[in-house]
């Protein structure tokens, strides 16, 4: 009798221990993912541009040969950080530049051979495929191109000046935004899988500075003869009627964010501003020239990058929800050119 009672007590204790143990396991939560902010650009050293990147405000140099270099674009895929840019082949002021790809801070691939001048303007990564867009000189004109894993595709035929400034890949389709000179003006274009669509008539010169693809909608930010605009599926929206240029675009939950620079007639300076679904807010106060180059939105946080003049020196900066943080100390000219905000 006593043994049965003891056995029941032991069994009950084991059951309770198991239940409590399971409860403790269920209560354990994994650490929250951190938000990491990656920025790339350059900072001068003895008047020579040097490619730089920042992670959460901490600056680092990219491995180069010491010649003039710029980090133009950044893309984060999983735990891997890809950076595209270019480096001069020699110390000569007219030296050809060579497009390079860095992965996790190390040189991963040289994209062009340096026989002609080339510049990387944007970067996109899908799985194991790395897309870089930019231009390469053909001896007469710059040719708009993109490279997939180092293999080039020409977007313009090289008979006239062309430029490719932004790239995105969605559902297997490759989108590139840029422009091509038609003999009179620059015509703004979007290439989808290499096939061009004109976004303006060519009656006025236009430039594409940024591209964003959301679902099946293609957004391009730029300017048409001094008027800041963005195009959604080819339909233009005017950001401001003042002298301005749109420089960056981001779309989240049907909200369109556009960064632009507007000439302030009172201070005679370029002022950084943000357009959000028709509402305009100031990024800079207009007392110094400001250049905005990129934007990223994470939940309720809006990140804008670029530079602002401090006397004769440009200071690389990031604005989070309108509050500026300097990325460089202002002793050397610097600017931030691209941004990626990710949870890791």
What are the b/e assignments for 60-85, b being 16+ CB within 10 Å?
A: eebebeebbbbbbbbbbbeeebbbbb
Cα end-to-end distance, the chain, whole Å? 60
Q: How far apart are CA 122 and CA 322, in angstroms?
A: 25
Report CA-CA distances (Å) from 138 to 141, 193, 220, 230, 236: 6, 22, 27, 30, 32
Report CA-CA distances (Å) from 79 to 8, 35, 107, 294: 52, 12, 17, 22
Under CATH, to which class is 41-343 assigned? mainly beta
Q: Output the CA torsion sign for 49, 206, 143, 259.
A: positive
- pLDDT at 4 (0 to 100): 32
- Per-position pLDDT tens, the chain of length 344: 333 333 333 333 433 444 344 443 445 555 678 999 999 999 999 999 999 999 999 999 999 999 999 999 999 999 999 999 999 999 999 999 999 999 999 999 999 999 999 999 999 999 999 999 999 999 999 999 999 999 999 999 999 999 999 999 999 999 999 999 999 999 999 999 999 999 999 999 999 999 999 999 999 999 999 999 999 999 999 999 999 999 999 999 999 999 999 999 999 999 999 999 999 999 999 999 999 999 999 988 999 999 999 999 999 999 999 999 999 999 999 999 999 999 99
Q: 189 with 197: CB under 8 angstroms? A: yes
Phi-psi region of 157 (alpha: psi -120 to 50; beta: other; left: phi over 0): alpha
Contacts of 131 (CB under 8 A, 6+ apart): 123, 124, 125, 146, 147, 148, 167, 169, 174
**Which residue shows structure tokens 């056995």?**
7
Classified as helix, coil or strand, 27 is: helix
- pLDDT at 154 (0 to 100): 99
Q: Lay out the sheet containing 58-61: strands in order across.
A: 58-61, 48-55, 35-45, 334-343
Q: 271 with 286: CB under 8 angstroms? A: yes
Q: State the CB neighbour count (10 A cutoff) for residue 173.
A: 12
Phi-psi region of 3 (alpha: psi -120 to 50; beta: other; left: phi over 0): alpha
- pLDDT at 104 (0 to 100): 98
Distance of CA 124 to the CA centre of its chain: 9
- pLDDT at 11 (0 to 100): 34
Q: State the CB neighbour count (10 A cutoff) for residue 321.
A: 9
- pLDDT at 322 (0 to 100): 97
Q: Kindly list the domain boundaries of the chain, sorted by start residue.
A: 41-343
Long-range contacts of 138-141 (CB under 8 A, 24+ apart): none
Q: What is the pTM of this model?
A: 0.90
Classified as helix, coil or strand, 6 is: helix
Classified as helix, coil or strand, 77 is: strand
- pLDDT at 29 (0 to 100): 53
**Which residue shows structure tokens 């028709």?**
278
Contacts of 223 (CB under 8 A, 6+ apart): 206, 207, 209, 229, 244, 245, 246
């Amino acid at each position: 009798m006593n043994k049965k009672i003891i056995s029941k007590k032991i069994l009950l204790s084991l059951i309770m221990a198991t239940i409590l143990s399971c409860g403790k396991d269920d209560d354990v939560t994994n650490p929250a993912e951190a938000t990491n902010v990656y920025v790339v650009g350059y900072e001068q050293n003895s008047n020579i541009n040097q490619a730089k990147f920042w992670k959460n405000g901490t600056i680092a140099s990219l491995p180069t040969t010491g010649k003039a270099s710029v980090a133009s674009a950044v893309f984060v895929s999983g735990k891997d950080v890809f950076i595209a840019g270019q480096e001069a082949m020699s110390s000569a002021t007219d030296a050809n530049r060579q497009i390079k790809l860095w992965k996790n801070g190390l040189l991963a691939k040289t994209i062009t051979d340096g026989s002609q001048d080339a510049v990387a303007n944007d970067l996109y990564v899908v799985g194991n495929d790395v897309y870089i867009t930019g231009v390469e000189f053909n001896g007469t004109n710059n040719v708009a191109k993109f490279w997939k894993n180092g293999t080039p595709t020409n977007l313009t035929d090289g008979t006239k000046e062309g430029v490719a400034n932004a790239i995105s890949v969605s559902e297997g389709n490759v989108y590139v935004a840029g422009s091509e000179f038609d003999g009179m003006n620059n015509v703004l274009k979007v290439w989808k899988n290499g096939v061009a669509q004109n976004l303006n008539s060519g009656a006025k010169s236009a430039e594409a500075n940024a591209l964003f693809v959301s679902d099946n909608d293609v957004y391009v930010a730029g300017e048409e003869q001094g008027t800041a605009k963005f195009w959604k599926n080819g339909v233009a929206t005017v950001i401001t009627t003042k002298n301005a240029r749109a420089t960056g675009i981001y779309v989240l939950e049907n909200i369109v964010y556009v960064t632009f620079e507007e000439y302030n007639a009172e201070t005679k300076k370029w002022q950084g501003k943000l357009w959000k679904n028709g509402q305009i807010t100031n990024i800079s106060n207009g007392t110094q020239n400001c250049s905005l180059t990129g934007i990223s939105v994470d939940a309720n946080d809006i990140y804008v990058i670029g530079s602002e003049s401090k006397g004769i020196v440009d200071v690389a900066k990031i604005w989070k929800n309108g509050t500026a943080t300097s990325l460089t100390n202002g002793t050397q000219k610097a600017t931030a050119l691209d941004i990626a905000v990710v949870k890791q």
